Chains A and B, each alone.
Chain A
Amino acid sequence: MSNQPSHSHLAALDDLLEEADHWHVNTGDETIHAKRMGGKWRTIKWFTSSIWLLMFFGPYLRWNSQQAILWDIPNRQFHLFNITILPQDLWILALVLLFLAITLLAITAFAGRVWCGFLCFQTVWTDLYTWIEGKFEGTPQQRRKLDKAPISLQKFSKKLGKHSLWMLIAIFTGISFVAWFMDVYVLWGGLLALQLPSAAWITIAMFTAGTYLLAGFMREQVCMWLCPYARIQGAMVDVTSIIPTYDFHRGEPRSRKKKRDADEQHKAGDCVDCNQCVAVCPTGVDIRQGQQEGCIMCALCIDACDSVMDKVGRPHGLIRYESLNGLEGKACPPVYKQPRLIVTSLIIFAALLGIFYGLNSIDAVDLKVLHARQPLYVLQSDGSIQNKYTLKILNKLADDVKVKISATGPEGLKITSNPILAAQHGTVTPTSVYVRVPRKNLTVESQPIIFHIETVDSDEPFSSHRESVFIGPKR
């Protein structure tokens, strides 16, 4: 490095410093009071938000006299309507998670942070909380004034009303969450009698506090500083993603009405610099600065800008869903020709196929065989070799069933233990099985042996098998 920086270096540095002057790091020291304006996207947002009503009311749905969807953690069972999934089948969950993750990726690549803007619980609950805030405290200007005003009976009553309602929603959020893991009627009974397991109390308390703090106070700070998905999704967007975008070709140079009147050469763009897009933004960003991490792509600025364009008699779409390529007039390849959307669609399809297969092929019974290690084999007085196994029979049916154990393997093998067994329902029944083989038939140290189980006089016959080894002395 020379001691004398060149002029171009200095110019670049000046540019950086100038840009830095415009940086406003939103650290939450100032509460963002976003304005509410109606419009197409606002309506859509209410619809997408209302999906979360399912979380509140879903647990009350019954199916065959039990909760339709229930994660029964104490009993290690997941009930999904008439399907009961035990931990052994949880590989399906991996596919469900894969499906969700890749769907998020695909949607984000195609249309930006749709999850963040329309569906995320942080966005939805914050939206609800600020709506309530507006009902109690008025417009954004009134709210800012109220925040600065000294405490008075009027201010106190407004704040009390708002916080009470917030807390009530938070508590119901906590209870509704726990209701997915515990029979909802038992939960309410326990709540009213103040007799719940401590895990339930702690979970309700944590979700209540979390909802109240995150939706009431942290708001956009969560998206900007806490949430990893915000960053991940930001990285999935590229120049072909169709996202809320300010058309700077059409809008710039922006100018206010006075300047516009004086502008005789009609150089001014369509942006009237009314700042409505900033005023309605729930995270307080300026969409006109382009793509940025603070933008959750909720499209509320599109509604605001369109309503202003109506007033000034210009066409809609100064801010609109558009890709950066589209903005530059470059054609985007059609969706079905974009490789990443093809690949993600294939993964989604494969995951769905796996989930469908998994749910349809859950075995009624599952057999595991553990060969005893200590000792590996025992010489018997008649010269035969005995191996001991522990068979674990998982019965996923609703009733106990009688099963018969048999084995095929080395010639002359004989099961010396009782082969009939009652497999208890909904759990694993272990049993010791002893197998003897004449020593002369053991040609190698280790030979395959296959255990079979089949039901004995049952209405629904089923069978299962598993391979293990029969071990003899070294030759």
Chain B
Amino acid sequence: MADKNPFPGENNTGHIWDDNIRELANPIPRWWMLSWWASCAWVLIYVVIYPSFPIGDKPSAGLMGWTAIEEFKEVMAEVEAIRAQYENQIKDMTAEQILADAGLSEYTVASVKVLFGDNCAACHGSGGQGGPGFPVIADDDWLYGGGIDKIEETITKGRRGMMPAHGGRLSAEDIDTLANYVTGLSEGKDDPAGKALFTANACFACHGMTATGNQAMGSANLTDSVWRFAPGGVESAKRTITHGVNFPGDPKSREAIMPSFADKLSANEIKKLAVFVYRLGQQ
């Protein structure tokens, strides 16, 4: 400002509007300046201590040598150390022995959940609730037996269901009678005409004289409430009888294949999964 300051001695900046509104050069509060300098100091300290700027294609090292990935590894090692005390015990135990130990089976169920999610849940559901065409494993009905050893065997070797298609051999009427017969079994009905067909066509060879199935060969129990191809019903039974299960040459045949996990998972992992599956429904 070239002209004389009309408000001398009040420490204004010389910026004056409307004749009397002027900007004063009041000092910045001390607390603000202290915080400002403290922040500056913090930046310097941070830059020295932590990786802060690139040198070539690598970050600066920092005095403490800290990196995020190292911290991650350390924390993971801590987790592994906590798990190790259980894992070391489980390693030399059978699935049955793990089940007998309440603490270890709790640990197994908690720790193997991820493995179940990755390998089993796609077909059997995250809680073992099954899916269209895939069996429920949270219930108490087992085609091949619900013992822990059988579950372990199923995961290791896989399973392949098998039932011949009867569409070519039986009349539609017979199939209808048979389907009504087997669905009636679980409701307590016993149709003599159906039973005659059941016997005449050697259904009992696999499903047994009492139609309760045979776990040694994985044939279904037709008298209980649970259906392998849920939710069951006459139409579902008709399709199964007509086209069979995994019957070669019939494109409408039911598919029932459990793959083997022997190559995918270690024996230890399979053992733990067996415990998890066993505990899903708790007999």
Q: List the interface of chain A (C-beta within 8 A of B).
A: 13, 17, 21, 25, 27-29, 213, 217-218, 221-222, 225-226, 372-375, 378-383, 386, 388, 416-417, 432, 434, 439
Contact = CB atoms under 8 A, between A and B. Distances in A.
17 contacts: A21-B10, A221-B31, A225-B29, A226-B31, A374-B125, A374-B127, A375-B125, A375-B127, A375-B136, A375-B138, A378-B129, A378-B138, A379-B136, A380-B141, A383-B224, A383-B225, A432-B279
Given A379-B225, A379-B226, A380-B139, A386 B281 contact: yes
B30 A221 contact: yes
B250 to A, nearest CB: 29
A416 B279 CA distance: 12
A443 B224 CA distance: 21
Contacts of B26: 25, 27
Interface of B: 10, 20, 26-32, 34, 125-129, 136, 138-141, 186, 221, 224-226, 279, 281-283
Contact of B282 (A28, A225, A382, A416): A416
Contacts of B29: 27-28, 221, 225
B225 A218 contact: no
Contacts of A221: 29-31
B31 A381 contact: no
B224 A378 contact: no
B57 to A, nearest CB: 32
A226 B32 CA distance: 10
Instruction: Say whether chain B's binding surface is mostly helix, strand, loop, or mixed.
Output: loop
B282 A434 contact: yes
Contacts of A378: 129, 136, 138-139, 281
Contacts of A388: 138
Nearest to A384: B225
Contacts of A21: 10
Contacts of B34: 213, 217-218
A372 B281 CA distance: 12
A386 B20 contact: no
A378 B137 CA distance: 9
Contacts of A382: 224-225
A388 B109 CA distance: 15
B117 to A, nearest CB: 11
Nearest to B231: A379
B282 A432 contact: yes
A29 B27 contact: yes
A27 B34 CA distance: 12
Contacts of A380: 139-141, 225-226
B89 to A, nearest CB: 19
Instruction: Say whether chain A's binding surface is mostly helix, strand, loop, or mixed.
Output: mixed
Contacts of A25: 26
A381 B226 contact: yes
Contact of A218 (B30, B136, B140, B226): B30
A391 to B, nearest CB: 13
Contact of A381 (B30, B126, B141): B141
A17 B171 CA distance: 110
A33 to B, nearest CB: 16
A17 B283 CA distance: 89
A29 to B, nearest CB: 5
Given A17-B20, A375-B127, A417-B282, A381 B28 contact: no
Contacts of B221: 381
Contacts of B186: 383
Nearest to B26: A25
A417 B140 CA distance: 13
A379 to B, nearest CB: 6
Given A218-B30, A218-B31, 6 more contacts: A217-B34, A225-B32, A374-B126, A375-B125, A375-B136, A386-B138
A28 B29 CA distance: 6
A432 B141 CA distance: 20
Given A29-B30, A381-B221, A375 B128 contact: yes
Nearest to A28: B30
A111 to B, nearest CB: 28
A41 B82 CA distance: 60
B195 to A, nearest CB: 21
A374 B31 contact: no
A105 to B, nearest CB: 27
A205 to B, nearest CB: 13
A122 to B, nearest CB: 12
Which one of B28, B126, B186, B281 has the greatest number of beta carbons of chain A within 10 Å? B281
A28 B225 contact: no
Contacts of B138: 375, 378, 386, 388
Nearest to B282: A434
Which one of B10, B136, B225 has the greatest number of beta carbons of chain A within 10 Å? B225
Contacts of B136: 375, 378-379
Contacts of A222: 31
Given A381-B224, A382-B225, A27 B27 contact: yes
Which one of A27, A218, A225, A439 has the greatest number of beta carbons of chain B within 10 Å? A27
Contacts of B281: 378, 386, 434
A379 B10 CA distance: 88
Contacts of A417: 282
Contacts of B141: 380-381
Contacts of A28: 29-31
A333 B201 CA distance: 104
Can you list the 3 inter-chain pairs with the closest CB atoms, starting with the nearest?
A28-B30, A375-B129, A374-B127
Nearest to B227: A379
Contacts of B283: 416
